[in-house]
Amino acid sequence: MKNITIILIPALVVLYIFFYENSNSWSSEKTAHYQLSQFISPETCGGCHEQIYEQWQGSMHKLAYDDVIYNSVANAGLVGLTDKDEIEEAEHCQTCHTPVGYITGYPLKTSDDKTKIAEIAKQGVQCDYCHSITGAYSVYNAKFKYAPGNGEDDPGVKRGPFKDSESDYHQSEFSDFHTKSELCGTCHDVQHVTFKTWLETTYQEWKNSTYSKQGVQCQDCHMYQRPGYPSTGSTDRPKNPGTAAEGSVEREHIFTHYFVGANMAIPIKEQNTALAQMAEERLKNAVDIKIEPKAEMDKSGKGSKIIIKIINNGAGHQIPTGLTNIRQVWLNVTVTDSKGAVIYKSGVPDAKGYLPENTIIYSTIFGDGKGNPVDNLAKAREIISDKRLEPMKEHVENIDIGNFDGSVTVKASLLYSGLSQKVADSMKELKGMNIPVVVMKEVKAVVTK
Ligand code: HEC
Ligand code: HEC
Ligand code: HEC
Ligand code: HEC
Ligand code: HEC
């Protein structure tokens, strides 16, 4: 009898731990595990990490919950759904846009009452959330592992890039995970929860690029940028020496927390001109365009094609990336003959800001599973088309301009807008909103036959 208990008790302990660990990993993807009181407000962190706090304060991470574009798209996505799989996806947005709320139990659904959300959860992707992460179960849909502390009085361990970091307030620990793209990719790859359609694939795009092979992480571009230093693939990415906290040791590089992408509409709305300008600097250092000096004539001699080569030499992923069914990147081409008359144009927006039919657009179109395009992410059963600019690959467009005499002047530009004006105008909260258009690159060349 005694022998059996000696074996049985450890066996039960092992079994318990095994099932507890597994249930933990499974259910942490589904339900709340943490108390709101475990998380510390960004203002508290800002008490010592003043510069980092100020940078983050204006960022799209801070605004992920408040963002009017996000909220309009999320609210519109809930309207008129009857299919339970579609509803499940539409009710899943807060996972990344209100992450502290989601992992502490409210809101668990997109449609949950906004007035009941705690203040701290409204601060979007925040300090204590990111610095309590210890790893990920899978690199998509925010499937993170966390080890937060117990609130302000017992802040626990904050994980980051330093191996020798000391603070009187919290424990510090080096975390390899924080230095790698996987931390970012766990939110920046988004899969439809029921149909498994990939809605955002920034991490996979990076993983398949030369940057990942060279070990250039998301952080190496996005956490080096500061005013005047766009820090893209086509510019230098100089280090940012300084201190991480008031009065702490000098470091060779302090990772910036502006998290600049391409969003200008929201920073402009928030009157954050510095962030909008950094987004513009980033976009203006992302691509190169070449126009071949000779047109390609067809055999009959009646037609000719202008050859335009675009290279994404600045982004560590496709252009555009992220939510590419709403982003709009397009080519504007104008051809004038030797007398100055325009003989061809495409990609010139009309008075309303809408693009004509023949525009060459780089984007993703989702479908309902029967080949019909859908705007609502919840209905995305398939990807109908995905035409974008891969990192460090040349993309060639052949543009048919008919016959011409002598030579022509070709002007080609690549433009970016975070949201098509048509989509903006279709939503009541966004109607009339200023959606800036950035000229990423513009080139001009004389082309002969
Ligand atoms: C009382 C001041 C103080 C407060 C409040 C504070 N920190 Fe720190 N923290 C420091 C100091 C000092 C360091 C050391 C800096 C260094 O090593 O260069 C530090 C280091 C860090 C590091 C680097 C850890 C590593 O090993 O790489 C992270 C991450 C961090 N803090 C996050 C936070 C977060 C998140 C909060 C809010 C929950 C916070 N801190 C609040 C003072 C503070
Ligand atoms: C999206 C996740 C994320 C958020 C939000 C975030 N950080 Fe960080 N932070 C990081 C990463 C990642 C690094 C290290 C980058 C690396 O090593 O490549 C870092 C580095 C740090 C460091 C080390 C010094 C440095 O900047 O290199 C401190 C201190 C820090 N963060 C504090 C904060 C504070 C305070 C806030 C909120 C105001 C905050 N972080 C918000 C991800 C985040
Ligand atoms: C908890 C999930 C989460 C993590 C972790 C995360 N992000 Fe984000 N990130 C978001 C969300 C959500 C947005 C969009 C907010 C919005 O536009 O409303 C965003 C926005 C951004 C933007 C701005 C995009 C634009 O269009 O301007 C950049 C750049 C960015 N993240 C980079 C990073 C990097 C680099 C890391 C890793 C160090 C990271 N993110 C980690 C969720 C996350
Ligand atoms: C070699 C530098 C570089 C690396 C590495 C890089 N990016 Fe970017 N990123 C850029 C540039 C340049 C842009 C602006 C052009 C664009 O919008 O794609 C950008 C834009 C973005 C945007 C806004 C997208 C849009 O089109 O609206 C997000 C989000 C983003 N990056 C996230 C990430 C994440 C996450 C990673 C890592 C998986 C990453 N980036 C790696 C350079 C980089
Ligand atoms: C797994 C994490 C995740 C989930 C879940 C998620 N998002 Fe996002 N969302 C992001 C990231 C990361 C970005 C930034 C990428 C970019 O800038 O294109 C983003 C950006 C956006 C933007 C662009 C905001 C702007 O200012 O341009 C909209 C709109 C949006 N999401 C809507 C939604 C909706 C609607 C849902 C639910 C159906 C949802 N998201 C669910 C991670 C997520």
Write the DSSP string, 366-428: EE-SSS-EE--GGG--EEEEEE-B-BT-EEEEEEE----SSEEEEEEEEEEESS-HHHHHTST
Q: Which residues of 245-258 are buried (b: 16+ CB within 10 A; e: fewer)?
A: beeeeebeebbbbb
- Which residues of 207-341 form beta strands (DSSP E)? 287-291, 296-297, 304-312, 328-336
In whole numbers, what is the pLDDT of the chain averaged over residues?
Answer: 93
Residue from 43, 45, 130 whose mutation best tests the ligand 2 pocket (most atoms within 8 A of CB)? 130
* pLDDT single digits (tens) 366-411: 999 999 999 999 999 999 999 999 999 999 999 999 989 899 999 9
Q: What is the dihedral of CA 343, 348, 350, 353, to 10 degrees?
A: 180
Alpha-carbon distance 41 to 45, whole Å? Answer: 7
Q: Are 346 and 333 in contact (CB under 8 A)?
A: yes
pLDDT surpassing 80 at residue 12? no
pLDDT surpassing 90 at residue 311? yes
Ligand 1 geometric centre to CA of 167 (Å): 6
Work out the angle at residue 80's Cα, subtended by the Cα atoms of residues 75 and 82, and round it to the nearest 5 degrees.
120
Q: Are strands 304-312 and 342-346 parallel, antiparallel or unpaired?
A: unpaired
Q: Is the CB of 58 within 6 Å of ligand 2?
A: no
Residue from 51, 131, 157, 184 whose mutation best tests the ligand 2 pocket (most atoms within 8 A of CB)? 131
pLDDT score, position 7: 62
Alpha-carbon distance 317 to 392, whole Å? Answer: 9
Q: Are 267 and 55 in contact (CB under 8 A)?
A: no
Nearest CA to ligand 3 atom 36: 184
> Which atom of ligand 3 has the smallest separation from the CA of 59?
23
Mean pLDDT of 7-18: 55
Domains along the chain?
Answer: 31-261 (no CATH), 286-448 (2.60.40.150)
The confidence band for 4, taking pLDDT boundaries of 50, 70 and 90, is: low
pLDDT score, position 163: 97
How much of the chain exceeds pLDDT 90, in percent? Answer: 85
Nearest CA to ligand 5 atom 14: 322
* pLDDT single digits (tens) 69-108: 999 999 999 999 999 999 999 999 999 999 999 999 999 9
pLDDT score, position 362: 98
> Which atom of ligand 1 has the smallest separation from the CA of 243?
18
Nearest CA to ligand 3 atom 3: 187
Q: Is the CB of 96 within 6 Å of ligand 2?
A: no
The confidence band for 3, taking pLDDT boundaries of 50, 70 and 90, is: low
pLDDT surpassing 90 at residue 222? yes
Ligand 2 geometric centre to CA of 23 (Å): 30
Q: Are 99 and 125 in contact (CB under 8 A)?
A: yes
pTM: 0.94
Ligand 2 geometric centre to CA of 224 (Å): 12
Distances (CA, A) of 296 to 8, 112, 289, 316: 81, 58, 18, 32
